[in-house]
Amino acid sequence: MNKDIQNIDKTAAELRETELENKAGRVGNEWWEVSMKRTWLRLVLLAGSALLYAAAFPPLNWSSVGWFGIIPLFWLVKGRTVRQAWFDGFIWGYVWSCTAFFFLREIEVFVPFAIAFIFALFPAFWAASVPLLRRFIFVPVDVQLKGCDAERDYYNNEKHGHWKKCLFVLVLAAWWCVLEWTRNWLFSGFPWDLLAGTQWKNIALLQICEFTGVYGLSFVLIYFNISLALAMEIWKNIFMYRKFERPIPFYVAIALLAITFVSGSYSVLRTSGNKEKATLDAVVIQADIPQCRMANDQQARFALDEYMSLSENAVLLKPDLVIWPETAVPVPYNLADDLAMEYRSRLGGLIIRNRIPFLIGTIDFGKYIPPMRPQDIPIYNSAIFIDRDANIVDSYNKIHLVPWGEYTPLGEYYPWIKKKFGMGRSLTPGRRATIFNIKENVRAGMNICFEDVFPELARNCALAGANLLIIISNDAWYPKSSEPEQHLAHAVFRAVEIRRPIIRAGNNSGSCVISPTGAITQSISFSSDDKKDGNVLDPLQKIKGFANFRVEVIADAPLTFYTKYGNVFIYFCILVCIGAGTGLLWAWREKKQKLLEAFEKKQ
């Protein structure tokens, strides 16, 4: 039976291909020329709409595009075959990915163009689902058997139940969120520039993340995009054909947006509350030092001099803590050589004289266990907490390492990959969320570098007891691109998800305080704004200096719904997609059965 079904599909495809070849081969027929023009026009529209969508993210921050930026892709693929829609989605995704990850050219020129082949797959699979769901939700199997023209006429001329349209939008929105969640862990994970990221400055809308994580806001946005596209079809029919119909899915989207905005505004007001708080005065040092892959002793000593000079002035403010960014000095703090000994001596002396603890980013080593070879000793990207007596109290080892930057994927199995593309050594991932007891009622969790784009790492800190999150980073690897701003945009979601303030310390930019509502409330740098008659917070300026941040920390901060239960919302989206997939398989089976019955009758 399955063989007969395959033969039917093959025969239908061959007949369709022969028909197109015959049309193209007729004397004087311009079908091929017209087809090529349409193809190029489609490619231009796909690329243009992808670039428009990219403009919703930093540095342009056209946040309003997030509410309609997916509509052009939806329109371009809704009437296509599944295979054609997949290809269109891939083209759209490739152009967008090249733009979103263009900052990676500062590492290697080819990287954004290579990585785009992977990230284009996610829009491709979403786009392929649009015509597939459209056909099986709106068009009965009997009509599908009559061909594409019959399907199109039925879809355009028949009225469809509101529940079908709402289901269509729901499944597409859920599928989009599931694909974004997949980006969080597939191929090591890189959830950069999710749809929700277009609204990183919209404080009221951010608050939904307390319950759903970042994916909840993505759901609201994609639901609005698709329902607006369907509403525009209805409005077109009203204007052209006088066919009146209520855009119920769009009404649902408006209601969903209103609930999100109103409840979010209320959350912003109630978050401060009248709870017992502790105050932390933390000085963040930002030396703005250019980076190099393999620093020599002269460059390392220059970095040490810069950070020591700034710190000697900073301790005069008598803070509770001084924070240095990720790998501030490119020599391991605990290394047994002359420069590292000088490093420990100078910093230790400063700490003891002023009785102020330091939190510094550095490379660190694991324990040597005989008969371990020296080259097998674990190397970590770490944050070290040094107390008032210059003793190391505890350390946090970065858990989620950067592929190719901090380790070479498959390098242990294929040494030639590590030799050709690696950075000379592979770091070891940490295993636990360390909590630093900075002072009474102040318990700090840590993220290093791009760990703040992964929601579960901040969540694990809150679950471990942190009431403050400290992020140390080094975006000086990207001095000419928008990467620092895109990176900062992700951190605001972590603050809302766990309802903890964030202190962020960068090497050349991005040093600031983010409140539990996701608002940037303090910054190391400012810029003038004529419209506001004064200076405004601008943490993205590349400057050398330090700032004393006074942060209020709730002593016994409660856990948010997201912190307690994790990705419950994503599990709901997965169930929706599984239900839709089951329905599609059932409809496909029914269609094939009827095709087989028709084939057998002709026999």
How crowded is residue 58: how many other Cβ atoms within 10 Å of its Cβ?
20
Task: Say whether both 355 and 424 belong to one domain.
Answer: yes
Does residue 369 register a pLDDT over 90? no
Q: Please write the tens of the pLDDT for every residue from 427-441.
A: 999 999 999 999 999
Mean pLDDT of 225-232: 97
Task: Say whether both 586 and 460 belong to one domain.
Answer: no
The set of residues, in sequence order, having a beta carbon less than 8 Å from that of 245 and lying 6+ positions away, is: 159, 234, 237, 238
Q: Is the dihedral of CA 165, 171, 172, 174 positive or negative?
A: positive
Distance of CA 215 to the CA centre of its chain: 10
Pairwise CA distance, residues 21 & 220, whole Å:
45
**74-78, 326-330, 370-374, 467-471: least confident range:** 370-374
Token pair recorded at residue 587: 């409809």
Task: Say whether both 532 and 580 belong to one domain.
Answer: no
Instruction: Please state, for a pLDDT cut of 70, what percent of the chain lies above it.
Output: 91
Helices 31-54 and 82-100, axial angle in degrees (round to 10): 40
Strands 277-286 and 321-323: parallel
Does residue 221 register a pLDDT over 50? yes
Task: Say whether both 202 and 142 belong to one domain.
Answer: yes
Strands 436-439 and 321-323: unpaired
DSSP 80: S
- Containing structural domain, residue 429: 278-565
Domain membership of residue 580 (yes or no) is yes
Domain membership of residue 469 (yes or no) is yes
Residue 385's alpha-carbon distances to 213, 433, 520, 530, in angstroms, are 30, 14, 25, 42
Q: Please write the tens of the pLDDT for every residue from 155-166.
A: 777 777 899 999
Pairwise CA distance, residues 403 & 390, whole Å:
34
Strand segments (E) across 468-544 = 468-472, 502-505, 512-514, 520-523, 526-529, 534-537
Q: Are 51 and 98 in contact (CB under 8 A)?
A: no
Domain membership of residue 21 (yes or no) is no
- Which of residues 273 and 187 earns the better pLDDT score? 187
Residue among 339, 382, 349 nearest 364 (CA): 382
Task: Say whether both 155 and 66 belong to one domain.
Answer: yes
Residue among 319, 314, 524, 311 nearest 439 (CA): 319
Task: Say whether both 438 and 512 belong to one domain.
Answer: yes
Burial class (CB in 10 A: 0-12, 13-18, 19+), 39: exposed
Domain membership of residue 19 (yes or no) is no
Mean pLDDT of 259-278: 86
Domain membership of residue 25 (yes or no) is no
Q: Please write the tens of the pLDDT for every residue from 448-473.
A: 999 999 999 999 999 999 999 999 99
Burial class (CB in 10 A: 0-12, 13-18, 19+), 361: buried
Mean pLDDT of 187-208: 96
Task: Say whether both 352 and 389 belong to one domain.
Answer: yes
Report the pLDDT value the prediction gives residue 603, as an integer from 0 to 100.
Answer: 62
Highest mean pLDDT among 243-247, 355-359, 365-369: 355-359
Pairwise CA distance, residues 76 & 532, whole Å:
42
Residue 169's alpha-carbon distances to 79, 152, 376, 579, in angstroms, are 16, 19, 53, 14
Question: Can the peptide bond before residue 59 be classed as cis, meaning omega within 30 degrees of 0?
Answer: yes
Does residue 272 register a pLDDT over 70? no
Token pair recorded at residue 122: 């996610």
Instruction: Give the CA dihedral 375, 378, 383, 384, nearest 10 degrees.
Output: -80
Task: Say whether both 360 and 475 belong to one domain.
Answer: yes
Does residue 533 register a pLDDT over 70? no
pLDDT confidence band for 27 (50 / 70 / 90): very low
Task: Say whether both 389 and 532 belong to one domain.
Answer: yes
pTM, rounded to two decimals: 0.92
φ/ψ bin of 570: left (φ > 0), alpha (ψ from -120 to 50), beta (otherwise): alpha
Task: Say whether both 286 and 249 belong to one domain.
Answer: no
Side chain identity at residue 473, one-letter code: S
Residue among 156, 112, 117 nearest 138 (CA): 156
Q: Tokens 């636990």 correspond to what residue? A: 432
Does residue 577 register a pLDDT over 60? yes
Q: Are 476 and 451 in contact (CB under 8 A)?
A: no
Mean pLDDT of 86-106: 96
Pairwise CA distance, residues 301 & 299, whole Å:
5
Report the pLDDT value the prediction gives residue 116, as an integer from 0 to 100.
Answer: 96
Residue 523's alpha-carbon distances to 200, 444, 485, in angstroms, are 17, 19, 14
Task: Say whether both 200 and 319 belong to one domain.
Answer: no
Residue 142's alpha-carbon distances to 78, 115, 577, 583, in angstroms, are 20, 43, 25, 16
Report DSSP letters for 212-263, one per residue: H-HHHHHHHHHHHHHHHHHHHHHHHHHHHH------HHHHHHHHHHHHHHHH
Q: Please count the structural domains in the chain.
A: 2
Pairwise CA distance, residues 307 & 508, whole Å:
12
Q: Are 474 and 460 in contact (CB under 8 A)?
A: no
Mean pLDDT of 194-208: 98
- Which of residues 153 and 65 earns the better pLDDT score? 65
Report DSSP letters for 421-484, one per residue: HS-S-------S---EEEETTEEEEEEEGGGGG-HHHHHHHHHTT-SEEEEE--GGG-TTSSHH
Average pLDDT over the chain reads 90
Domain membership of residue 411 (yes or no) is yes
Task: Say whether both 47 and 76 belong to one domain.
Answer: yes
pLDDT confidence band for 14 (50 / 70 / 90): low
Residue 298's alpha-carbon distances to 53, 292, 311, 344, in angstroms, are 45, 12, 20, 17
Pairwise CA distance, residues 273 & 513, whole Å:
19
CATH code, 284: 3.60.110.10
Domain membership of residue 181 (yes or no) is yes
Token pair recorded at residue 399: 């858990």
Domain membership of residue 18 (yes or no) is no
